Amino acid sequence: MQKNIIFMGTPSYATTILKELLKHFNILALYTGEDKAVGRKQVLTPSHIKAFLMQNFPHIPIFTPRTLKDESVSEQIKSLKPDFIVVAAYGKILPKSILNLAPCINLHASLLPKYRGASPIQSAILNGDEKSGVCTMLMDEGLDTGKILQSVECNIKDKNSSEVFELLANLAAKLCVDTLLNFHKLSPIPQDESKATLCSKIKKEDGLVEFHNARELYQKFLAFYNWPGIFLENGLKILDLELIDDKEHLKAGEILELEKESFLLACKIGTLRIKKLQASGKKPIDARSYLNGKRLKNGNCLC
């Protein structure tokens, strides 16, 4: 008999998982974040997953509660009689009143107990991890502390956050189907608390960089590719770059060598190839054109 699922999620990562679940299960309802004001005109915009469901499966109910703690929400979920509640990047903690209604399974984008919290993908990239993965986890009242059902590992070396989000979303979608189909055969495994690490929500100011360590700056570029990007104190955005080496330099921020559309830049430790820049309020241009406009040459300091 086909299982009945309530799905909770908000961004495109969750949409990818829901698309796969729709092929195998009966989706009773979607719970997602509230519509948000977006852009300069502050246009009220639905979440990625809500927009997808409204367009493609308009018969499936969508709920956007401000909080899950209200008794009316748990009563509503109870009345739907789900076999499972599946959660992927929803953005809200499930209270005990909901956790008790059905097995609640979270799709977390790390190999738990590493990187519990809001930014597991960015944190793995920032730390230069070559391996990451996704877990299906039985949810409890803690933050990503529940027992692990299944996990799958993958290579993320030199991938940016956009690429890793897509990779892990596709892995999570297939893993979730497998977990749900084989749920009663699985033996949940408690997490090793001695290996647990936490990661916090990314803030815009996290994208501010200085030319101290080229490798660390490169990892920030990859981690913050979607948002907030990386930028200097003067607002200059670095839109594309390559890590060249870990050589030490006397002068951080010095332009070392001009190339056709790029240039080599010294960090205190390491060298970068800067390929595309965007000055505050200007359009993106290739890095060499930016230098020409500023009349900067070899030996000058970018900052």
The pLDDT assigned to 41 comes to 84
Against a cut of 0.85, is the pTM above it? yes
* Banded pLDDT at 100 (limits 50, 70, 90): very high
Mean pLDDT calculated for residue range 160-181? 98
- Average pLDDT for residues 84-107, to the nearest whole number? 96
pLDDT at 158: 96
> What beta strand segments (E) does the chain contain?
4-9, 26-31, 36-38, 43-45, 62-63, 84-88, 104-108, 116-117, 131-138, 148-155, 198-199, 230-231, 237-248, 255-258, 263-266, 269-278, 285-286
23: left (phi over 0), alpha (psi -120 to 50) or beta: alpha
Helix (H, G, I), strand (E, B) or coil at 162: helix
Mean pLDDT estimate for the chain = 96
Q: How many Å apart are CA 176 and CA 183, to the nearest integer?
A: 10
Q: Is the pLDDT of residue 1 over 90?
A: no
- Which structure tokens are listed for 212? 């101290």
> Looking at residue 42, what is its pLDDT?
87
Question: Each residue of 49-71: pLDDT tens digit?
Answer: 999 999 999 999 999 999 999 99
CA dist 234 and 231 (Å) reads 8
pLDDT of 43: 84
285 has a pLDDT exceeding 80: yes
Q: How far apart are CA 75 and CA 188, in angstroms?
A: 28
The counts of H helices and E strands in the chain are: 8, 17
Point out which residues pair with 38 in neighbouring strands.
Answer: 43
Mean pLDDT value across residues 284-302:
95
Q: What is the pLDDT of residues 174-228, one digit of tens each?
A: 999 999 999 999 999 999 999 999 999 999 999 999 999 999 999 999 999 989 9
Instruction: Encode 105-122: b = buried (16+ Cβ within 10 Å), e = exposed.
Output: bbbbbbbbbbbbebbbbb
* pLDDT score recorded for residue 226: 87
* pLDDT value of position 145: 96
For 168, phi then psi, to 5°, come to -70, -30
Q: Tens digits of per-residue pLDDT, 213-236? A: 999 999 999 999 989 999 999 999
Cα 243–204–196 angle (5° rounding)? 75
- Is residue 298 predicted with pLDDT exceeding 80? yes
Residue 138 pLDDT more than 80? Answer: yes
Calpha distance 162→45 (Å, rounded): 21
